[in-house]
């Protein structure tokens, strides 16, 4: 269902809506035969067709991959308080550590 989420999100954003539209407006379901949109109550935007979702696939894949990268980076960065101590004590070491994390987890452009 993850991929459907990202396709719907890309469709929303391509139509000047935000991911916050998911809150109580969209429900995705998998009944064992595949993922589908169960509920669609987005004001001013029709439920996407299969072809519209397919056209959002490239952006959805990029968004999902970048989400994983951001999550991985966030875990690797560690606690913000510890980062601030590290910056105070040795900003060059902090910069090198953060750069190595970013280099190891590049985002898609």
Report the domain count for the chain: 1
In the chain the beta strands, taken as DSSP E runs, fall at 26-30, 35-40
Classify residue 55: in a domain, yes or no: yes
Classify residue 49: in a domain, yes or no: yes
Classify residue 43: in a domain, yes or no: yes
Q: Give the model's confidence band at 21: pLDDT under 50 very low, under 70 low, under 90 confident, else very high.
A: confident
Classify residue 16: in a domain, yes or no: yes
**Mean pLDDT of the chain, nearest integer:** 93
Which positions ≥6 away from 105 have C-beta within 8 Å? Answer: 69, 72, 73, 76
Over residues 32-60, the mean pLDDT reads 93
- Residue 89 pLDDT: 95
Q: What is the pTM of this model?
A: 0.76
Classify residue 100: in a domain, yes or no: yes
The range of the structural domain enclosing residue 32 comes to 2-104
- Residue 22 pLDDT: 86
Question: pLDDT by residue (tens digit) across 47-57?
Answer: 999 999 999 99
Which positions ≥6 away from 65 have C-beta within 8 Å? Answer: 107, 108
Classify residue 109: in a domain, yes or no: no
């Amino acid at each position: 269902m993850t991929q459907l989420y990202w396709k719907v999100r890309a469709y929303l954003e391509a139509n000047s809506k935000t991911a916050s539209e998911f809150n109580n407006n969209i429900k995705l379901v998998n009944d064992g035969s595949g993922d589908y949109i169960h509920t669609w109550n987005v004001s001013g935007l029709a439920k996407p067709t299969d072809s519209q979702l397919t056209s959002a696939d490239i952006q959805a894949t990029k968004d999902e991959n970048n989400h994983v990268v951001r999550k991985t980076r966030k875990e690797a960065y560690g606690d913000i308080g510890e980062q601030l101590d590290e910056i105070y004590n040795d900003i060059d070491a902090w910069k090198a550590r953060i750069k190595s994390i970013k280099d190891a987890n590049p985002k898609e452009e």
